[in-house]
Structure 1
Amino acid sequence: MTETASTTSEPAEVWITGIGLATSLGEGLDANWDALNQRRINVDEKGFAPYIVHPWTQVSLDTQIPKKGDQRQMEAWQRIGTYAAGLALDSAGVKGNKEILGRMDMIVAAGGGERDLAVDSGVLTAEANGNSAPGFLNERLMSDLRPTLFLAQLSNLLAGNIAIVHGVSGTSRTFMGEEVAGVDAARIALARIAAGQSDIALIGGSHNGERKDLLVLYEFGDYNLKDKFEPVWARQQQPGFALGSAGAFLVIESRAHAEARGAKPYARLTNVVADLSHRKHPGDVKTTLEKLWSKLGKLDDGGAIITGATGAEPATSEEQAFLTEHPDFPVRATGTMFGHTMETQFPLGLALAALSISRGALFPPNDSVGVEIEMSKPPAQIVVIGAGHWRGEGMALIEAIK
């Protein structure tokens, strides 16, 4: 029996060649990098009081979504994501390249689409006032909502709009499942390229944290940060996350494909691993993180950690206990600067890790309790950690290209 090439060849090296960031701190890599180095945080403590959010930066949508009709038919989360995806394609030098875009795979991490609050409120008000005759709900749904939607927008509409606006038309997958969806988007894309099943992929997600329906949803679980902003590591007395609005997309491709088109890489995506702790006993999250750490590969001195720690308990305290066992790796928590962006938090961490490696420095700490420390030398490896606020864990290893 003859062995196939996939069983005899080495896995392809995978490079990150494009990064698109549109966050509460700004649009593009320079704006976000400058804000991080200035320790700037953009929070709104009044607009959704008592809840705290990190609002999306103001951008000119026309630069990445030129047709007004396309803009109008998207809700905010889709505009954020489609915009960030365009920035990533620009960064990778493939924007408008029909040959590459026509075979580019796309894996998007997305939550449930935005609801129509006016329709929801009208239905609930009529119900409360006793004005909901038989068939009332069906009548309202048929007359008030667009025929392609049912209560909330479909999660795969983001991928559809990216395909329409930017022409990314290879295979398409949309993963749901809060934070771990972002982990799996990166994990599956990396595995496909490493195995030779794909040459190039667009991965990432977007999140609109300025949504009253989401704040209500997470308040049912007592997850929202309330009243006063604190850095992630200083929330033990008042645990919770501040929702953030952000889009984060990356273009990843095989080294051979990148070199063939003369693309300059930001960093190497070496490994992505994921797990699901049962979280039934104290310490379960810490144990799972240790197991994932052991699967990443060889970790050398000179590394750092970028984590999407949420501020929600008990997951954040257990993650912090794990981090104290690895004191040689300076830590940065993206939730402090960008808020918690759910499905987008892990791609955001990947983007910031690749950006830090490419610029030869880890951005400074932004922490009031001393968990985060300075790092003077350029990071050669950065571990990205994602521990979901109530389920799901993942890690990735980003490395400098030698």
Structure 2
Amino acid sequence: MTHVVITGVGAVTPAGIGPEALWAQALSGRSRVRQIDRFDASPYLCQIAGQADAFVATDWLPGRFVKKTDRFTHLATAAAGAAIEDAGLRISRPDGVAPERVGVTVGNVLGGWEFAERGLRDLWAKGPRDVSPYQATAWFPAAPQGNICITFGIKGRARTFVCDRASGAYAIVHAAEMIRRGHADVVIAGGSEQPLSPYAWACCETGGFLTPHGNKQPEVAYRPFDRGHTGTAIGEGAAFLVIESADHARSRGAKIHGELAGWATNTDGYAPTYTIEPNGRTLSRAIAQSMERAGIAAGDLGCLYADGSGVPREDAAEVAAIKGALGSHRDDVPVTAAKPATGHLMGAAAVADVVAALRTLSHGLVPPVANLERPAAGFDLDFVTGTARDLRGRQSVAVVSRGLGGVNACLVLKRWPG
């Protein structure tokens, strides 16, 4: 059987630049959600978000590239480059991996509306001749995919997934299946999101999942599974992985961060505006199938990274799904959620969770759920609160991801020996 492993990680998030910044923020038990200052958010009910303010695009990318692309492409290209560097991956002939054997998969939800809105303002105020010639290529969700291929000389299969907040998870699953089926030797898989523009924000707010509370105390507004949960606080960022087979990684002397041992996806088919059916049965099946495919019994799972949207009905359904999947071991598997530390990164969220989960496996620590003080009634799982908890020597972690319309995914990671 082909073992699918992760050899490179890169992240640009509200926590800062790099995986260690993301991990440190998760361990802190605090949130980086703040008042939005990228645009005037005062007309909106939700005025808070996670901003990747440490990232200055021109510090990472050529000025001409920055000018003709949107920030969500800047974030993606920088994070993908960091993952490639971390993996020690050379994409070239004859002294590296053949470009035709390298693939790219990207998850995204909103596209590049910061760039698009500038073009639309010019269109209505001045006319079509004043619209940037890069308007069409800068805003659409597949822009990061294409620019990553161009920047790093990748010639293999490439695909973008738009599956709402599960987009990044679907990108990882497709990458793993490409490796298993021999369609690529290496896949650069990740997600990117930049929702901080007036139109993109209006789309999110009309989606009904943003918290309408917490503008005066943004750092404690996003509190999944807590009695005070009122919705999601989202953020911008990108995270990418280098995925390949264990044999291929060993052949080039790469360091292995962990194994992507099992995965499963499905769809509730319940309602277009819900992430999950109320009883959580379909999501529960995805969690159980991913563990089964990884060869992991529920009682052996080290911890579970929940999706944790903070929307009360969604939290309740996710708790029901986790209970169903863990069965009699529901009191023995620690449950955490890393997203409140940065804000939910939407298309990049699942990938950022995998980055944190890999650190859980290597450091033996489960980070706490930021802002979870009193679990809501009936939420009787073993939530990690306050401070990090020891992994107790266990070797596997599950990551849950969900999106509107009932799109579900679960990934199981294993610690790689040595």
Structure 1 residue 219, shift from structure 2 partner: 1.8
Q: Distance in 2 between matches of 1:122 and 1:13?
A: 51
Partner of 2:112: 114
Letter in 1 for 2:413: I
Contact 1:107 / 1:173 at 8 angstroms: preserved in 2?
yes
Q: Structure 1 pair 101/352, CA: closer, same or farther in 2 (3 Å)?
A: farther
Q: Distance in 1 between matches of 2:18 and 2:90?
A: 15
| 1:299-318 equivalence runs, <5 A | 299=297, 300-318=299-317
Q: Structure 1 pair 235/151, CA: closer, same or farther in 2 (3 Å)?
A: farther
| 1:338-349 equivalence runs, <5 A | 338-349=342-353
Partner of 2:289: 295
Q: Structure 1 pair 161/123, CA: closer, same or farther in 2 (3 Å)?
A: closer
Partner of 2:321: 322
Q: Give the TM-score, by structure 2 length.
A: 0.82
Query: Does residue 368 of the first structure (1) align with residue 373 of the second (2)?
Result: yes
Match 1:239 to one of 230, 246, 250: 230
Letter in 1 for 2:164: E
Contact 1:44 / 1:52 at 8 angstroms: preserved in 2?
yes
| 1:323-402 equivalence runs, <5 A | 323-324=322-323, 326-366=330-370, 367-370=372-375, 371-373=383-385, 374-376=388-390, 377-402=392-417
Structure 1 residue 291, shift from structure 2 partner: 1.0
Structure 1 residue 284, shift from structure 2 partner: 4.5
Match 1:56 to one of 45, 52, 59: 52
Partner of 1:94: 89
Larger radius of gyration: 1
| Equivalent position SS for 2:300 | coil
Structure 1 residue 383, shift from structure 2 partner: 0.5
Partner of 2:247: 256
| Equivalent position SS for 1:179 | coil
Gaps of 5+ in 1: 1-10, 127-138
Partner of 1:132: none
Cα offsets for 1:207-245 (capped at 9, x unmatched): 113222122112223222134142432566552211111
Contact 1:283 / 1:318 at 8 angstroms: preserved in 2?
yes
The alignment covers a number of residue pairs equal to: 377
Q: Structure 1 pair 111/283, CA: closer, same or farther in 2 (3 Å)?
A: closer
Structure 1 residue 19, shift from structure 2 partner: 0.6
Contact 2:230 / 2:312 at 8 angstroms: preserved in 1?
yes
Q: Distance in 1 between matches of 2:34 and 2:236?
A: 12
RMSD: 2.6
Q: Distance in 2 between matches of 1:245 and 1:378?
A: 34
